[in-house]
Amino acid sequence: IGGQCWFSENVRYLPEVSPSNEGSETVAYAYVYGYEGSEVDMAKNTLNYHQYGVLYNFPAVQQWDLCPNEWHVPTDEEWTAMTSSLGSQDFAGIMMKSSFGDTWAGLNLSGFSGFPGGYRYSNGAFNDAGYIGGWWSSSPFVSSAWFRGLDYGDENVYRSYLNQRYGFSVRCVRDAE
- Confidence band, pLDDT 50/70/90 cuts, at residue 53: very high
Q: Are 54 and 169 in contact (CB under 8 A)?
A: yes
- What separation, in Å, do the N-terminal and C-terminal C-alpha atoms of the chain show? 15
Q: Are 56 and 30 in contact (CB under 8 A)?
A: yes
What is the predicted pLDDT for the residue at 116? 94
What is the predicted pLDDT for the residue at 153? 87
What is the predicted pLDDT for the residue at 11? 98
- Which whole number is the average pLDDT over 15-21? 97
- Confidence band, pLDDT 50/70/90 cuts, at residue 101: confident
Beta strands 173-174 and 71-72 are antiparallel
What is the predicted pLDDT for the residue at 100? 80
- Which whole number is the average pLDDT over 17-28? 96
Distance between CA atoms of residues 118 and 34, nearest Å:
10
Q: How far is CA 124 from its chain centroid?
A: 17
What is the predicted pLDDT for the residue at 70? 97
Q: Are 168 and 148 in contact (CB under 8 A)?
A: no
Mean pLDDT for the chain overall: 95
What is the predicted pLDDT for the residue at 98? 92
What is the predicted pLDDT for the residue at 45? 98
What is the predicted pLDDT for the residue at 103? 77
Q: Are 27 and 59 in contact (CB under 8 A)?
A: yes
> pTM (2 decimals)?
0.96
Distance between CA atoms of residues 164 and 87, nearest Å:
29
